[in-house]
Amino acid sequence: MIIVLLWGMLFPLTDWYARLFSPQIIKKGSAEGTKICLTFDDGPDPRYTPEVLKILHKYQITAVFFLIGAKAERFPELVRKIKAEGHQIGCHTYYHRHAYLLSPWKSIATILKGRQTIERIIGKPIEWFRPPWGALNLFQYLFLRQSGLKILLWSANGRDWNKKTGVRGIIKRLSQKLKSNTIIVLHDSGGESGAPDNTVTALPVIISKFQSEGYSFVTMKQVLGGKD
Ligand SMILES: [Zn+2]
C-alpha cells in the first residue's frame, strides 16, 4: 500500500519539481516586450500539417513543431517539408503515451526512439522535447537531464484538441493569456476527430489579430532569451 502511494506521488512530484526548477522548461509571460512563439504538437499529419504550413508561409512566420516519432516515420516527407520551410522541430515522444502510465524502460524508450527517428529523417540533431500532456515521470526527467534534450512546455494552451472549444474558443483562450514571451500550444494533428479543422480555421485569425495588437511571432529561442 505504502509503495503504491509513494509511486503515485512520485510522478506529480517530479512534474512539480521540473516546472519549478528546470531551466527553460517554461517561460512565464512578461509585461514588457511583444514577442510570442507558436508551437504545434502531435504531427506530422498528411491532412492538416500542409494547411498549417501554408498559413505560416503566407504570414511569413516560423513556428516549432513537436513531432510524434511514429507519425514522423509514416510521413517523412512532411517532416522534411517542415524543416525545409524554416521551422524548428522538437520531439514529442514516439508513441504519445502519458508518462504516468509507462514503465521505467518504456518511458525512456519512447523519448529515445522518437528522437532517433526524427533525427534520422532530418539528418540533424534536435534540441527540444515536449512531453505529452506536459507530464514527465522521474525516469524521464533524469534521462532528459543527462541526454541534453531541453524540455519546453507552454504558457498559453488553445485546448484545440477538444473539438468543443471551437474556433472562437481557441481565439478567446489564447487572447486571454497573451503577454510577451508567451509560448502558444496548438495541435496540427490528434485530439478529437476533426478538431484540427478548428485550429486551421482559427490560425489566420489568431496571427492577424495578435499582429494587429503589436505582437510579433518569433522563434522559441528568441522568446527564451537566447540567440537563434
Ligand atoms: Zn501531444
Domains, the chain, ordered by start:
2-224 (3.20.20.370)
Residue 30 has pLDDT above 70, yes or no: no
d(CA 167, CA 24): 30
**41 part of the active site:** yes
pLDDT, one tens digit per residue, over 183-215 is 999 999 998 999 999 999 999 999 999 999 999
pLDDT value for 27: 53
Q: Which entry of 41, 42, 45, 160 is annotated as an active-site residue? A: 41
pTM of the complete model: 0.91
Q: What is the DSSP letter of 30?
A: B
pLDDT, one tens digit per residue, over 49-106 is 999 999 999 999 999 999 999 999 999 999 999 999 999 999 999 999 988 888 889 9
pLDDT value for 31: 59
Residue 65 Cα to ligand 1 middle (Å):
11
Residue 1 Cα to ligand 1 middle (Å):
32
pLDDT value for 155: 86
For β-strands 216-217 and 182-187, DSSP reports them as: unpaired
**96 part of the active site:** no
Query: How do the residues of the chain divide into helix, strand and coil, expressed in percent and rounded to 5?
Result: 50, 15, 35
Nearest C-alpha neighbor of 35 from the set 227, 208, 224, 172: 224
Grid cell, residue 70, equals: 511514429
Grid cell, residue 4, equals: 503504491
Q: Which entry of 87, 92, 96, 187 is annotated as an active-site residue? A: 187
Grid cell, residue 69, equals: 516519432
d(CA 126, CA 25): 16
